[in-house]
Amino acid sequence: MFLSLSFLLIFGLLCLFLWMFSGLFQNNKKVIVYAPPSYPIIGCLLSFYKNRHCLLDWYTQLLASSPTKTIVVGRLGAPRTVVTASPENVEYMLKHNFLNFPKGEPMNQILGDFLGRGIFNVDGDLWSAQRKLASHEFTARSLRELVMKTLEEEVDGRLSPLLESAAANSSVLDLQDVLRRFAFDTICKISLGSDPGCLCSDSKSPAESLVDAFDKASEISARRGMAPVFAVWKCKRALNVGSERKLREHIKVVHDHVEEIIRVRKQQKAKNPEVFAGNSDFLSRLLDAGHEYEVVRDMVISFLVAGRDTTSSALTWFFWLLSKHPNIENTLLKQLFSSEGMNFCHLREMNYIKACLCESMRLYPPVAWDSKHAANDDVLPDGTPIYRGDRVTFFPYAMGRMEDLWGNDWAEFKPDRWFDQEGKLKMISPFKFPVFQAGPRVCLGKEMAFIQMKFVVASILRRFEIRPVCTEQPVFVPLLTGYMAKGLYVRVQMREGYNNNNN
């Protein structure tokens, strides 16, 4: 009993000393740190655990209450984390002092098993080499032509017939699932030159196990970064138990599928080089560039994850928001039916659709937050000190909800906020709206993503009316990409006045 009381007394004195020392240190630095309720040793672990199921809104409330729009989160078992919704801080991280804020080894530990050495998870020379290759491919006219050709095939051959069938049978569809399968077919054709057939309605897709493994590997990897105590998943990983064992199994499925596709393509190219010469799919160009086998595999996986999940997430929330605003849908339809066609040039000129998509992504960004790790000590523009090894997170979800950035009507879905008084699209700073990142790591596929989303929106709205079955506010779940919990179940109707002769 005496020993227990002595231990508690010593522990209490130690905590008090550390707390006082921390306060003196901050006072000497004359730095005001805004943080959630915290305690000695454990930091904000209790608050973090309590709010673990609503982290987005919890962080957003904390940031809105901070005069600097920045908070510092310290908790036992995790690196010191600085979370910001300040455009000036975001610009400093992503542009002005880019080299001091790489992805870092901690992020590589979280996502490395799944994404490996792909472009979204590496730094330095390997990132530069992959970025240079990808940059060349995304500016190639051949890729643009492949994207348009693939979109036309997928929409006309699979997506539209699927929606027509649902309309004819008065059946209910999970539109989120349909859009994800559509996006996976599309990105596989563009990236791999192969067709998984996920949207085929007359047969079970041979890639179903691959898609399922992708989903589960993404989820488990993302939950590592959201874990209250990092040591838990690291121990499970070391022991190969629980979710970490399942993660290894899912990653093996993904690797086996992608490696088999790569192996077959290499054999095909070796046997018939003239047939595959000049192939425009991404895999062929990666192989031609002579990258290591694992780098090719990891780059392909990264592009599959990004190409499927980001666009399908953005479109899911877009269709839900649009269903709540019939006046905006009518404005969109006027633009669509006045357009002369749906080729690349016409799609680029559809500014109202782009404004609607941007407004949707402001409220529900496909990637809710993104983290870097400080290579050296630093100070953000708002005065927040950064120490080597800190996790520094910019937060698009919260930024879209800041009254200082978007006005007191920030909660409203208002595409008109993206136009100036002359009716032209505004040039919004990418550091205020970092949905596609910014600076050297800005998304290379941004333009192609908008073209794909515009094509899908225009194709669906011109022919169909989409009406959600449930009227309740859906829940936004932030994993590697954000998705709608429980899906988006809708009824589909043929749009009145539409006929197959319409363009």
Tokens of 92: 């400093």
Question: pLDDT (tens digit, 9 = 90+) per residue, 255-286?
Answer: 998 888 888 888 887 787 766 665 667 787 77
d(CA 208, CA 195): 12
* HEC secondary structure over 30-66: CCCCCCCCCECCCECHHHHHHCHHHHHHHHHHHHHHC
* pLDDT for res 498: 54
B/e letters for 81-99, b = 16+ CB within 10 Å, e = fewer, are bbbbbbbbbbbbbbbebee
Question: pLDDT (tens digit, 9 = 90+) per residue, 390-416?
Answer: 999 999 999 999 999 999 999 999 999
Written as one string, the DSSP assignment of 358-413 is: HHHHHHS-SS--EEEE-SS-EE-TTS-EE-TT-EEEE-HHHHTT-HHHH-TTTTS-
B/e letters for 454-467, b = 16+ CB within 10 Å, e = fewer, are bbbbbbbbbbbbbe
Calculate the dihedral angle through the C-alpha atoms of 472, 476, 477, 478, rounding to the nearest 10 degrees: 180
Structural domains present in the chain:
29-494 (1.10.630.10)
Tokens of 91: 């610009």
SS3 104: helix
* pLDDT for res 357: 97
* pLDDT for res 16: 40
* pLDDT for res 24: 34
* pLDDT for res 146: 85
* pLDDT for res 293: 80
* pLDDT for res 5: 43
d(CA 278, CA 274): 9
| Ranges in the chain, pLDDT < 50 | 1-30, 500-503
